[in-house]
Structure 1
């Protein structure tokens, strides 16, 4: 059916890619459920996106051609794996990881120049994402640079739309994970007691996890986070540099950091979209959509919907957090949200404690990332450190 539908917009048009957020704001008011050959049915409104998130029977998460545990699963299968995964991000697990998380945040921030320029995405965001994710997984530090190179190759292949190369890179990353599994099996009882080893010993519905399931879980915990954590840090650092009043307030009121971070990332999405597939014919946003059609949920639009947030660009720390779809909603809400929130809060806290000023560089403005990435590809900033 979708082959015969006229395009409402072109997500790859230069005018859209140059400023995704402005383009989405415009389309949301004119065509809130819009069709394109590239993304099929794109949902721009908060109301429609939330409806999809809360109706997993009509809007299935099983939209991937590859095994994705539990992201591309629906209840009841999703529920079994979700129950297995959630303790890894529960309060006890976060308390255990917190000291190491804080130490890494301080170490990465400690590399800032005393008084000079920094590129927030690569020098801060990517460094922190690589180090923090390897530490959480229990992976060796020798993987930092190979993974950095892998992320760059993946970004290039994504922008080029090179599906064959993306498939090769996925297999390459799976190989990194399998190497970690094999090394632990070779060590037997002497294997490190870490997240990776623990997942290897989990069971679901009375059976051991297959290697394919283990690899899928660990891939979801690493590949996605390497991109979204670094994107988030770039967005946050850029926003604070451009808004010195909020920057100053957060330096003296760090208790506001959590709300401020979620609100800034609502305004400027680090993750632009997610997918669903319809299981039956449905009408949404005034459009009739057949069964088996692909939907693209545009977080970068829904979280800026003026019907919910009024002036979407206004960072307000008193907003109802339940309206913020930064980590999704419903049964598929991101299980790793507690970890991501702790990582970002610790990083920004360490950053503000170590510096007296973050400022933009007028002649070198931040460069926006291109879809499917959110945030920026480069964020040059001026930084002044606290004097010892």
Structure 2
């Protein structure tokens, strides 16, 4: 399932490891080092990727560094606030119920295509005040990523289709007929000014596309691994049905033990001495979140899934200035999906072998489950 032995070896023997692959880069695997690097964007900046990567350079605010990054985050934060999530909760719960209904009626089905992939797209469409029907096109676009494989040029073409066929049209619509800027993100961004200047339409489109590109795959994978954990742990199922108030802490533990984005790239801004190694200015550095989240120096019994684990300072959403903007929405989707599937079933179990994702993500592209209902 993971490169557990390799992570452990690197943490213990070579916590700052050099690889000649992909032009050369450093790997950080200890929790304290990864967290500190993630919290120091002026030392480890967002920049060049390690492997061939789609052209996400214009994705805002994820590609920016402080202080510019903070300006955009302040502008966007109100749309994922606690109050904003409370307003969205009934809508997203209804989506979960609608997506689960055919699966539970059939008694089995692929939870990834039935729930885990469509739910984040529906939630993001709701966040941006798009018609629910818009999610169908977005799911199809993301499945396009699976069809082309890890080919950055072809992925760029898929992203380009998003610009042309969806987000740019919505931005043009909002410019012509804006909604309440206090509750509608795109209307609010169009009405905003930075340094006394309005944002260009291109910038607003970049913000909208980044919401989908960054917010869909990670949440879909987190939902899929959550369902895998439930299906393969009947004792956890039983406990969470008996004590549903434990679901929020279970969400955090599933995120920790199944960190969806395994690592992320940074670039050293200046020379850094760490554990006897010198990371030079300009060197690329991989922050291995998945390895950090299994570090026994931070997490007691790290390979055990302990749903009551608290505190649980995992790095599944990153840390510092680049802490995942969509984390509140992802947590909401995971909680509601767990609440509904556990309340409406008496047993969840695997119905066959799933197909895992590859590369930097940890998830499933298919996961057949069987459901027993009360």
- Determine if the TM-score, normalized by the shorter chain, exceeds 0.5: yes
The structural deviation recorded for 1:117 is 2.1
Distance 1:49 1:369 in 2: 24
2:174 corresponds to which residue?
A: 184
Shift of 1:63: 4.1
Q: How far, CA to CA, are the matches of 2:276 and 2:368 in structure 1?
A: 43
Q: 1:192 to 1:285 in 2, by over 3 A?
A: closer
Matched, 1:248 2:233: no
Unpaired segments ≥5 residues, structure 2: 50-54
Instruction: Give the Å deviation of 1:190.
Output: 10
Following superposition, the deviation at residue 188 of structure 1 comes to: 5.7
Mean alpha-carbon deviation: is it higher for 31-40 or for 365-374? 31-40
1:35 aligns to 2:18 (yes or no) = yes
Contact 1:110 1:354 survives alignment (8 Å)? no
Alpha-carbon distance between aligned partners in 1 of 2:14 and 2:147, rounded to the nearest angstrom: 31
- Displacement, 1:313? 1.8
Q: Which residue, out of 151, 154, 162, partners 1:165?
A: 154
Residue 26 (structure 1) shift: 4.1
Measure how far apart 1:125 and its partner are: 0.3
Determine helix, strand or coil for the equivalent of 1:118: strand
Contact 1:114 1:383 in 2 (8 A): no
Residue in 1 that maps onto 2:45 = 60
Q: Equivalent residue of 1:307, what SS? A: coil
TM-score (normalizing by structure 2): 0.90
Match of 1:71 among 40, 56, 62: 62
CA shift digits 1:65-105 (9 cap, x unpaired): 62232222222212211111111111221122122122112
Which residue in 2 is equivalent to 1:9? none
CA distance in 1, matches of 2:111, 2:14: 35
The match for 1:209 is: 199
Aligned pairs for 1:1-388 (under 5 A) are 19-36=2-19, 37-38=21-22, 40-63=25-48, 66-114=57-105, 116-157=107-148, 159-160=149-150, 162-175=151-164, 176-187=166-177, 194-321=184-311, 323-361=313-351, 364-386=352-374
Deviation at 1:318, TM superposition (A): 4.3
Displacement of 1:350 in angstroms is: 1.0
Contact 2:75 2:189 (8 Å CA) reproduced = no
Structure 2 CA distance, aligned partners of 1:193 and 1:333?
22
Residue 146 (structure 1) shift: 2.4
1:99 to 1:293, Cα distance in 2 relative to 1, 3 A:
same
1:239, distance to aligned residue in structure 2 (A): 0.3
Q: How far 1:189 sits from its partner (Å)?
A: 7.2
163 and 338 in structure 1: CA distance in 2 versus 1, 3 angstrom threshold:
closer
Give the alignment's TM-score, normalised by structure 1: 0.87
Contact 1:115 1:384 in 2 (8 A): no
Contact in 1 for aligned 2:246/2:308 (Cα 8 Å)? no
Count of matched residue positions in the alignment of Structure 1 and Structure 2: 365
Question: 1:331-358 deviations in whole A, cap 9, x for unaligned?
Answer: 2212222221111111111111111110
**8 A contact 2:180–2:187 mirrored in 1:** no
Mapped contact 1:232–1:375 kept (Cα < 8 A): yes
Instruction: Give me the whole-angstrom Cα distance separating, in 1, the residues matched to 2:318 and 2:353.
Output: 30
Q: How large is the RMSD of aligned CA atoms in angstroms?
A: 2.4
Cα offset, 1:365, TM superposition:
2.6
